[in-house]
Amino acid sequence: MPISEAELKKLVSQISRVPAEKIRPESAFRVELRMDSLAALDLLTALEEDHGVNISQEQARGLTTYGQLLEFIKSRG
């Protein structure tokens, strides 16, 4: 896996400004994590540039929770 679960949670926490300990697999990006489209783009960009994880916009639309993103990354690693 190009990014560990701990690193992913830390990255999501930094972008969403939600403490990492409050991020659970069922945490929805738009609701619990309060991430808008700009924050989502920041996350996708950081994943690609810093960790080599490429997620297309089409794929990203289907990833609505932290757990879905984590599973997607694990499946590609």
Q: Quote the DSSP letter at residue 22.
A: G
Check residue 30 and give its pLDDT: 96
Which domains does the chain show, CATH number per domain?
5-76 (1.10.1200.10)
Check residue 2 and give its pLDDT: 78
Q: Quote the DSSP letter at residue 63.
A: -
Cβ(5)–Cβ(70) below 8 Å: yes
pLDDT at 1 over 70: no
pLDDT in tens, 12-63: 999 999 999 999 999 999 999 999 999 999 999 999 999 999 999 899 999 9
For residue 28, list its beta bridge partners.
65
Which CA distances in Å does 18 have to 8, 21, 28, 49? 13, 8, 12, 22
